[in-house]
Amino acid sequence: MSGPERITLAMTGASGAQYGLRLLDCLVQEEREVHFLISKAAQLVMATETDVTLPAKPQAMQAFLSEYTGAAPGQIRVYGKEDWMAPVASGSGAPAAMVVVPCSTGTLSAIATGACNNLIERAADVALKERRQLILVPREAPYSSIHLENMLKLSNLGVVILPASPGFYHQPQTVDDLVDFVVARILNLLNIPQDMLPRWGEHHLGSDD
């Protein structure tokens, strides 16, 4: 199995809930164990942008997402925002990789400053201090200088900043195609197989020039 077997997936209050849901589905299909965190703002955004309304309590949410994605028992683990006993809160138990998608600029700022006011921020702080893979997918426009400075600070610390900016060279036909573009890039960074988007030049046979 290529890529990490255990992954922390966090969703925060930026627009783009479809990215997080699609990534969760892909990780489940690739038989990864997903430690799932979501802010209350993200739940509100999800209910606005999709037909998915998550239960409020972690256990009920875990059961819902497991059924929604077809996950095996225990494959998705959901934790509350102040569940400090969760594995993701400690370097000794946290997965090898973490993705925050979508990542609000508020969460980006908190991670950049080392704030640990909730489990999402603490999990990211653990990923940083343990030098583990951390991918942030901000969705905001335009970016302020503060946003850009925070991104630069985190990038210099080894964090991957992957804006939710789909390309068009694959000639997308639907919104789902645009979502898949971003999710495929995340999976490529995690070294997890995906067949949604061919890598650039993968099918290129060369030219006569």
Share of the chain above pLDDT 90, in %: 90
| Tens-digit pLDDT profile for residues 157-207 | 999 999 999 999 888 999 999 999 999 999 999 999 998 887 766 654 555
What is the value of pTM for the model shown?
0.94
- pLDDT of 196 reads 87
Instruction: Provide CB contacts within 8 A for 171, sequence distance 6+.
Output: none
Instruction: Provide CB contacts within 8 A for 187, sequence distance 6+.
Output: 3, 23, 26, 193, 194, 196
- pLDDT of 201 reads 65
- pLDDT of 206 reads 57
| Tens-digit pLDDT profile for residues 98-148 | 999 999 999 999 999 999 999 999 999 999 999 999 999 999 999 999 999
What does R_g of the chain's alpha carbons equal in angstroms? 17
Can you name the residues that pair with 187 across neighbouring β-strands?
A: none
What backbone phi and psi angles, to 5 degrees, belong to 99? Answer: -125, 130
Distance, in Å, from the CA atom of 94 to the CA atom of 37, rounded to the nearest integer, reads 13
Rounded mean pLDDT of 38-50? 97
- pLDDT of 3 reads 87
| Tens-digit pLDDT profile for residues 24-36 | 999 999 999 999 9
Domains and CATH numbers, the chain: 6-190 (3.40.50.1950)
Classify residue 63 by burial, with Cβ atoms within 10 Å: 0-12, 13-18, 19+. Answer: middle
Distance, in Å, from the CA atom of 181 to the CA atom of 120, rounded to the nearest integer, reads 25
- pLDDT of 79 reads 98
At residue 208, does pLDDT exceed 80?
no
